[in-house]
Amino acid sequence: PGLQPEPDYTFKILLVGDSGVGKSSLLLRFATGGFEELVPTIGVDFKAKVVQLGGKTVKLTIWDTAGQERFRTLTSSYYRGAQGIILVYDVTRAETFDSLADIWLREVDMYNTVDECIKMVVANKTDLAEQREVSTDVGVQFARAHGCLFVETSAKGNVAVEQAFEELVLKILETP
């Protein structure tokens, strides 16, 4: 009691995407259950969380660029060994969606070292329905075309955040 079980697996999960799309907020929501108006910080940060899924105990180390993406200085070491990569855009800013194809998917393909790495596209800020610029359909088609899972979330409204991480982990677990 009180002791964490030894994990059956440890997975490295990355969050990538333009500044301001909600990467830190998604991580904070998933790792601690909270939501704060975040003060941007600089430097790579990660949080660890142990989950029970598919009958396994899985330790996740989830890495957030924490502002470094603004300087385009994410390096190969950030990507090394990641079993899961979450590509985040903001549904109210179409340019953040365009960046997935223009920047983030390219970088993932260039630096990722894990053959069976699972990619997931996360469309965040769905609570801002009036300001939406990228439809669900466009997001779904893009994810499908690039072999990625797809989930729409609101880190602020706590919609589907846990589901997104769990879906990713289950997919990693079932990949040989």
Residues that bind ligand GDP (CB under 6 A): 19-25, 37-38, 40, 124-125, 127-128, 154-156
User: Smallest gap, in angstroms, from Cβ of residue 47 to ligand GDP?
Assistant: 13
Nearest-approach distance from CB 35 to ligand GDP, in angstroms: 7
Nearer to ligand GDP, 22 or 58 (CB): 22
Select 128 or 140, whichever has its Cβ closest to ligand GDP.
128
To ligand GDP, the closest distance from the beta carbon of 162 in angstroms equals 14
- Minimum CB distance to ligand GDP smaller for 15 or for 143: 15
Nearer to ligand GDP, 7 or 157 (CB): 157
Nearest residue to ligand GDP on Cβ basis: 22
* Strand order, beta sheet including 149-152: 45-53, 56-64, 9-16, 84-90, 118-124, 149-152
The letter for the amino acid at 61 is T
Query: What dihedral angle (degrees, nearest 10) is formed by the CA atoms of 31, 37, 43, 49?
Result: 0
Owner of token pair 């603004």: 70
Whether the Cβ atoms of residue 163 and residue 174 lie closer than 8 Å to each other: no
CB 61 within 8 A of CB 9: no
Taken in order 104, 110, 111, 117, the sign of the CA dihedral is positive
Least distance in angstroms from the C-beta of 151 to ligand GDP: 12
